[in-house]
Structures are given as C-alpha cells and as structure tokens.
Amino acid sequence: MNEFVEIPWLKVFSNFIWILGASITLAALSYHEFLAYMRKEKRINVFKKKSFKRPFLLGLVLIAAGISASVNKPFQAAITGSVSLFLVIWFLKLSKIKLPKLRKSKIENKLNS
C-alpha cells in the first residue's frame, strides 16, 4: 500500500498530457498527409484547412501545458506557460464560429435614410 502513495502522480499526469498532445499532433499530420496523397492535392493546401489546424493546435497546447507542468525551474515554467497561453488564445481564435450577418428589413432601411 505504501508503494501507491510514493508514486509522483503530478509528474505522471503532466507527462501523460504532453504525450497525449504529441500523439494528437502526429495523428493530425499523418492523416492529412494521407488525405493529400489520396486526393492528389498539394500538402500546403491540405495543411491550410481548419480540419488540420484545430487538432494540430490542440496537440501543441497539450504539449506546452504538459511540459509547463513537468519542469522544475520557475523560469522555464513561465516560458512554457506563456507559450501555452499564446497557443490557447490562437486555438480559441481559430475555433470561433462566424455567424451570418442579418439583413436589414425594408422598414429599417427607410427609417435609417
């Protein structure tokens, strides 16, 4: 029972997070490489699509967050934490859903003119 308590669970969890991020990133890269090959498209065109950018950025966020939680030096943790925050902001900005603009009715147009 004492062996269970001695396991550094924070380190195990932080390493799990960055390894999960690396696997998501590699899966996104390999899948979109496969799509480019099957569709006979240029890789650059496939890698510009949101279907690639979202999982790729999510993987990078997880890598940066996991490394930030696993380092011991505060200076390194601050750098990786700021990189992680930057990536989260970029991911959220990319994931915004644009709503269609509503048309003004004829009555509103007459009232405004």
| 2-59 confidence digits (pLDDT tens) | 666 788 888 899 999 999 999 999 999 999 999 999 999 999 999 999 899 999 999 9
Domain span at 41: 2-96
Please give the pLDDT value at position 62: 94
Residue 111 lies in a domain: no
pTM score of the predicted model: 0.74
Residue 108 lies in a domain: no
Q: What is the mean pLDDT of residues 50-72?
A: 92
Q: How many domains are there within the chain?
A: 1
Question: Can you count the helices (H) and strands (E) in the chain?
Answer: 6, 0
HSE at residue 94, side-chain half, CA atoms within 13 A, is: 17
Distance from C-alpha of 21 to C-alpha of 56, rounded to nearest angstrom: 9
Please give the pLDDT value at position 99: 47
Residue 107 lies in a domain: no
DSSP tag of 33 = H
Closest CA to 70 of 4, 21, 22, 16: 16
